[in-house]
Each structure stands twice: as C-alpha cells, then as structure tokens.
Amino acid sequence: MSEHHTFGLICTGCYGVRVEPPRLRLGYTTCMSCGEKAARAVKHTIVPMNKSNYIACFDTDTLKQLNPKRTT
C-alpha cells in the first residue's frame, strides 16, 4: 500500500490539511472545507421536462424558456 493511502494526502485546495483516507478512496483530493467551498460555487437546479426525464439546468435563461406559463 502506498504512503498517501496510509497517512493521507495533502489537500490540493489549501495545501495545509491532510485529506482523510475515506475521501481518498472516493476519489476526492481536497479536504472537507475546500470541497464544500467548491460545491457551493456551482449553482444548478433540477427541472422536469414535458413527458421526459429530469435535466440539470445551469442557465437561468434556459430555465425561463422551459416554463410555458412565463409572463416575459
């Protein structure tokens, strides 16, 4: 077993905290606080399509076009 799995790897976000082994096994290379900051930076919503699946919508203009009862 390699050394970084035993003792943890240094966070690629803040370079000061060791990443916990369970996070490394899941493929994360950041500590919890840096991972939370990155997750909060991405804004999206899940939208149901007519007679179809759900999609992730990142653009507010696209979201407005999907609403058939929009006023503007």
Residue 64 has pLDDT above 90, yes or no: no
Alpha carbon distance 50, 47 (integer Å): 10
> Quick one: 47 and 65 in the same domain?
yes
- pTM flag (> 0.75): no
Same domain, 13 and 33: yes
Of 5, 7, 9, nearest in space to 19 by CA: 9
Q: What pLDDT is recorded for position 30? A: 92
Same domain, 31 and 51: no
Rg of the chain over Cα atoms, rounded to whole angstroms, equals 19
pLDDT at residue 8, as a whole number: 64
**Domain count along the chain:** 2
Q: Are residues 31 and 49 in the same domain?
A: no
Quick one: pLDDT at residue 37?
A: 93
Tens digit of each residue's pLDDT (9 = 90 or more) over 6-36 = 456 899 989 888 999 899 999 999 999 999 9
- pLDDT of residue 42 exceeding 70, the answer is yes
What does DSSP assign to residue 1? -
